[in-house]
Structure 1
Amino acid sequence: MVGAVMIFAVARDQRWGTYGTIAAAAVLLVFSMVTAIGLRAVPGALANPVSVGTASLSVMILFMASHALSRRGGALAVGVAVAVLQAVFWWFSPWAAKVYADATGLPLRDYTDGIPDLPNMIPMCLVIVAVAVELLHKVPAWIPGALGGAIIAACVPLQRVLVYGGTFPVNARYLTTIVLAAAFGAGAAVLGRRFGRMLRHLAPVKEDRHA
């Protein structure tokens, strides 16, 4: 998936390259949520490491795509593309799980609670974060990065309540998670901006034919 982003970024001056970069970055962001699950191994007594990781990865990829495209609306385009993929997977994942279970004759192991796991891990507030990134494009990257990380971490429990039900957990652990997500989001934004510039340098230098 990283390779796909690199390939399309080389041709970002072409329309297909721009669309490809947006799509590839969106897919990369979606499946990076699986990587965040590995943070469950980190002790989570003081904060939720998965929420912090989800916020950091989301912010980093948004900034990477935005600076790779080097045009206004890049982050928002990726955010909308992720929302579309989330909606598609919300329907596709249950269907695929049932078809696979029926085809192999195995009991249904995924989607047993009626909620698809992968699309549920994707932050539903990502479009809001992308809008914030676009509106704050003139300020240092760490500022919208910190804001984006805080928004995602703050909305993760809300998303869980909307999907599964229950009560909203406003406690010290929740507040600590937001603070850590803001700090890591600030660093992720700076890192994502650098990655975006690296992707821009992948394109071959155009020769001056009149030299």
Structure 2
Amino acid sequence: MTVQPRTDPSPETEASIRDVPRREVTGAWFLMAGYATLLLGMVWDGQWHGDVGPDNFFTAPHLLLYAGTGIVGLTCLTVVLLTTWGGGAASGTPAVTVFRTFRAPWPFLVGGLGASGNLLYGGVDLWWHDVYGFDIAVPATPSHLGLGLSIQVEIFAMVMAFAVLRRTRAQRWGLALAVGLATMGSTSAFGMVSELVFGWIPGIAPRVLGLGAVSALMLSLVVGLTRGARWPAATGLVFLAVQGALALFAPAATRWYAEAIGQPMRDYARNLPQSLIGFPATFPLVALLAAGAVWWAARRGTGPVGVTAAVGAVAGINAALFYNVVGMEMNLLVTLVAVAGVGAGTGWLGWQCATLLRRFGRFDQIGREVAA
């Protein structure tokens, strides 16, 4: 049968949501705290490289980044141990047995793997800087590519953890916040991968394709998980707050830290927040359009797959138009066509992923729910 978008979950739907153990609820919020710390360090590090330059493995932005990874890793380990000792096979999120002993709920298994990879590639990054120099931060280097992909795994774990928590309004706001943070933080991995995959295509800006895909994926995830019009809009507002806070923090922290350790600012540094162009600042407008599309689809009884694909295409077009205005080199017409197709595809993919993730937090009767 076809699942139609709803303006808000009904009481009957609320009643069928699984009662998640407290360890997983608390763990989800700790995952968010860890990732927020990591994102703060990552954005600060990008601002540092642009305005100052020289760094080493032990600079404050790096330490903040790895502190966030440490919080994520320790949270996942704690939840896995508590699940193992507390009989995780009988309750909570579906879990997998690791080493024939440990019961690991899927979001925390994924998060633990991401944190382990992040710390591993952090060591590789230290070696890379020792060999090639501290002011080299080319995204396509093996260490930075590994770091970006590991961080993306941590992002997916955070979203998975909150995908289970939909029983209360606070938990749904937590999902909106998680997706807002994930949207901002996915620029690194998706940008690097798009450069590697699409860099050979003439006339197309690969980064636009990557960030268009991020926009489409995250919005369709929110639509698919909440099935309501208000939550895509809430995600856009959360993103606006996150990007605004990072835009205020990173330049000020960079200038303060440079003065504290006696590093001069670059001659061309203008102390402008790089986070405002790291991801399209017009994303909240697309989120509002997505909310309107879901509301319209609910009233007209339109199937969700076409709606999420259309929203994804609009999200991709928004990325192309934003970076064209910023001045990124591209053939606008060719890039618009390509990013609209990529956005529509990732919009469809987001709905399918959301359908699977919803089953993590539902009782067996959710098996009757399938996407169109």
TM-score (norm 1): 0.83
Give CA deviations for 1:148-181 in whole Å, capped at 9, x if unaligned. 21122122222x15xxxxxx97x7x111111111
Give the SS at the match of 2:360: coil
Give CA deviations for 1:132-153 in whole Å, capped at 9, x if unaligned. 2223232512222212211221
Give the SS at the match of 1:180: helix
The alpha-carbon distance between structure 1 residues 195 and 107, as it changes in their structure 2 partners (threshold 3 A), is: farther
In 2, Cα distance between the equivalents of 1:95 and 1:151? 29
| Mean Cα deviation higher: 47-56 or 68-77 | 68-77
Aligned partner of 2:236 in structure 1 is: 79
| Mean Cα deviation higher: 86-95 or 138-147 | 138-147
Aligned partner of 2:184 in structure 1 is: 30
Give the SS at the match of 1:115: coil
Q: Which has the larger radius of gyration?
A: 2
| Mean Cα deviation higher: 185-194 or 139-148 | 139-148
Q: From 209, 220, 231, give the equivalent of 1:63.
A: 220
Q: From 153, 172, 179, give the equivalent of 1:18.
A: 172
Give the SS at the match of 1:47: coil
In 2, Cα distance between the equivalents of 1:112 and 1:35? 26
In 2, Cα distance between the equivalents of 1:108 and 1:45? 36
* Gap runs ≥5 in structure 1: 162-167
> Is contact 2:219-2:312 (8 Å) kept?
no
- Asked whether 1:181 is paired with 2:339, we answer yes
> Is contact 2:229-2:292 (8 Å) kept?
no
> Is contact 1:10-1:17 (8 Å) kept?
no
In 1, Cα distance between the equivalents of 2:265 and 2:353? 40
Aligned residues: 197
Q: Residue 218 of structure 2 aligns to which amino acid in structure 1?
A: I
Q: Residue 49 of structure 1 aligns to which amino acid in structure 2?
A: P
> Is contact 1:9-1:17 (8 Å) kept?
no
In 1, Cα distance between the equivalents of 2:163 and 2:346? 20
In 1, Cα distance between the equivalents of 2:349 and 2:208? 19
**1:34, distance to aligned residue in structure 2 (A):** 1.9
Aligned partner of 1:48 in structure 2 is: 205
The alpha-carbon distance between structure 1 residues 36 and 7, as it changes in their structure 2 partners (threshold 3 A), is: closer
In 2, Cα distance between the equivalents of 1:3 and 1:99? 33
In 1, Cα distance between the equivalents of 2:165 and 2:273? 35
Runs of 4+ in 1 over 4 A off after TM superposition: none
Aligned partner of 1:164 in structure 2 is: none
The alpha-carbon distance between structure 1 residues 107 and 202, as it changes in their structure 2 partners (threshold 3 A), is: farther
Aligned partner of 2:361 in structure 1 is: 203
* Gap runs ≥5 in structure 2: 1-154, 366-372
**1:206, distance to aligned residue in structure 2 (A):** 7.8
**1:129, distance to aligned residue in structure 2 (A):** 1.3
In 1, Cα distance between the equivalents of 2:231 and 2:332? 31
- Asked whether 1:128 is paired with 2:293, we answer no
TM-score (norm 2): 0.49
Aligned partner of 1:113 in structure 2 is: 270
Give the SS at the match of 2:186: helix
In 2, Cα distance between the equivalents of 1:52 and 1:27? 20
> Is contact 1:37-1:50 (8 Å) kept?
yes
Determine what percentage of the aligned residue pairs are the same residue: 23
Give the SS at the match of 1:87: helix
**1:40, distance to aligned residue in structure 2 (A):** 3.6
Q: Residue 12 of structure 1 aligns to which amino acid in structure 2?
A: R
Q: From 121, 140, 148, give the equivalent of 2:315.
A: 148
The alpha-carbon distance between structure 1 residues 107 and 133, as it changes in their structure 2 partners (threshold 3 A), is: same
